[in-house]
Amino acid sequence: MEFTLVKQMKRGMKTAEGNVSTMTQYVLLGFSDLPNLQGFLFGVFFIIYIIIIIGNSLVIIVTRLDPTLQKPMYFLLANFSFLEICYVSAILPRMLLNLWTQQRRISLGECATQMCFFLMLGATECFLLAVMAYDRYVAICNPLHYPLVMNQKMCTQLAVGSWVIGIPVQIGLTVQIFSLNFCKSNRINSFFCDTLPVIKLACGDTFDIEVFVYVETMLFGAVPFMLILTSYSKIISTILKLPTDSGRAKGFSTCSSHLLVVVLFFGSATITYLTPKSNTSARTAKLLSLFYTIVTPMFNPMIYSLRNKDVIAALRKFLCQETIKALQFLLFLSLSRPDTIKIIAY
């Protein structure tokens, strides 16, 4: 295993002027330190990917088709579920390919593209979570003005803004990172092309680009997080003033799912990007990035559906309708072509 990685490293390095080596290919180390678990890990992450796709797709379908869910909250939830599918699809397919083939090589262009989409979609998730918190703030703190403030036009503008606000900055950051001279190694100690593991491979002083990464993290991570905290401080204050226990319980139930997602995502991402490098080992950073890029998106549909009675009811209705349609189709086949049902039963 180690000999193969060394060969891949040498194959990906190309000598340039001034005896500085530039990279044409990288090697994603991923879980190469667990050679006996590669097949098992492939199976686990493949199942996780299927769960993420199916879970978030069901949320999108029911929130778009069920008449009772045609509300701003569920419009934003559908956007969030679609974002999670895109976010995970920027990372997991390549990771599964590496686990299956054991090649681990990724070209410079592919690495830059993966990083760029990861950064853009990560920024979108931060701002979309802030928009969802604002939606809950208006619904609980200003319920009479909610239909006017969170109308369809405003929801669309906020959703589109969340998707596009980080694009130019994240493209610029990606270009700057891959404009560095890389001479130390081409082995990225991560399972995808993340910013900090790639920067570690650069030659010379990388202080400026590291500062840029931290500033960008504060802009697209800390600012939305502070907006979320502000919204929830006012939400909690309003809920505690409600006169009845049932009213307070309903208010907390409305916000608890979103708040749990916020804690899971921002908690792991903050530790990864804002903790000093000397206090975080490479393995710990890898596990944390695994958590907020893959594990959290897997649990998000469960968190929102299991804690929301309207979504549960819509899911049951949708699944019952689809089951009835499937049974009707099988009945039609059995009546029109009796041999077909025998083949299916066999």
Point out the least confidently predicted range of 41-45, 203-207, 241-245, 267-271. 267-271
* pLDDT at residue 345 is higher than 60: no
Q: SS3 for 322?
A: helix
Confidence (pTM): 0.83
- Digit-coded pLDDT (tens) for 2-61: 444 444 444 444 444 443 445 678 899 888 878 888 889 999 999 999 999 998 998 899
- Digit-coded pLDDT (tens) for 146-190: 999 999 999 999 999 999 998 999 999 999 999 888 876 788 888
Given this model, what pLDDT does residue 13 score? 47
Mean pLDDT computed over 55-84: 90
- Digit-coded pLDDT (tens) for 89-138: 999 999 999 899 888 889 989 999 999 999 999 999 999 999 999 999 99
* Phi, psi dihedrals of residue 273, rounded to the nearest 5°: -100, -25
Task: Return d(Cα 148, Cα 160) in angstroms, integer.
Answer: 19
Given this model, what pLDDT does residue 3 score? 42
Helices (H), the chain: 2-11, 38-65, 72-89, 92-101, 108-141, 146-149, 152-164, 167-177, 195-199, 207-217, 223-240, 245-274, 282-290, 296-306, 309-336, 338-345
Q: Which residues pair with 26 in a beta bridge?
A: 106
